[in-house]
Amino acid sequence: MNESFKWFATVDLSEYEDKYISIVGTEVVFADEDPEIAYEEAKKSILIRKLSSGRFYQVILLSSGEGNIMIEFSYRCEVLPSGITIYRPVAKVYIHKTNGDWIPEYFYVDSGADYTLVPYRMGRFLGLESISVLDITEMGGIGGVIGVRTAVVPMKIGEYEFDCTIMWAQIERVPLLLGRQDVFEYFEITFRQRTKKVIFKWNS
């Protein structure tokens, strides 16, 4: 558990009751009844943390009235071969490698996908060959039918750890997809298309 969460677990936030607060480190940067205002005003502060890619912001919004912690990610901007610019929801996910390391990766958040999907080489890197079901089954999607092996892998989003059923594709040309199984059961996920944000709220 990092210092922000240790601080949050003990600090008195009663003055912010029924408001959303943006926290950076161990400081309340901004508070408002509207979570979007709390985010936008906090983003103006130089204290906001940029992620390593330089394209995403991750801000924890806390509703002290309910005690819920929300983790927010910005959509990813991509340019199609046609030249059209689109924005897709992504989330920073930590996957537990069989050697004990936590591996950070950005997954597309796909509410239309039944299961979380990883490509072949990523599965090999994570060591899934030692923990996955040996039998190859078929998984269908928009791109057609592919062979997959099933594994249950510890994951983290923010500070929240849970077991996730993963479909390990036996081909390489598939994206990292975060599907509904397990993930959507542990989190309430909100897509804000207008502001291009996706928000994860832990189901405590």
Query: Domain residue spans in the chain?
Result: 3-66, 93-179
pLDDT tens track for 160-178:
999 999 999 999 989 999 9
Which pLDDT score is estimated for 2?
53
The pTM of this model reads: 0.68
Residue 55: predicted pLDDT: 36
Bridge pairing between strands 58-63 and 85-88: unpaired
Tell me the residue length of the chain. Answer: 204
Sequence-ordered list of residues with C-beta below 8 angstroms from that of 161, at least 6 positions apart, any chain = 154, 155
Mean pLDDT by 10 residues, the chain (204 residues): 60 71 73 70 51 38 52 90 93 93 94 94 92 78 80 92 94 93 95 92 83
Asked if 160 contacts 91 with a C-beta cutoff of 8 angstroms, the reply is no
Please report the pLDDT score of residue 66 as a whole number: 47
pLDDT of residue 152: 94
Strands (DSSP E) contained in the chain are 20-24, 27-32, 58-63, 68-74, 76-79, 85-88, 90-96, 102-109, 116-118, 137-141, 144-157, 160-169, 177-178, 187-192, 197-202
At residue 56, the pLDDT reads: 37
The yes/no answer on whether domain 93-179 falls in CATH 3.40.350.10 is no
Cα distances from 116 to residues 72, 83, 96, 106, in angstroms, run: 19, 29, 14, 12
165 token code pair: 């059923």
What pLDDT does residue 62 have? 44
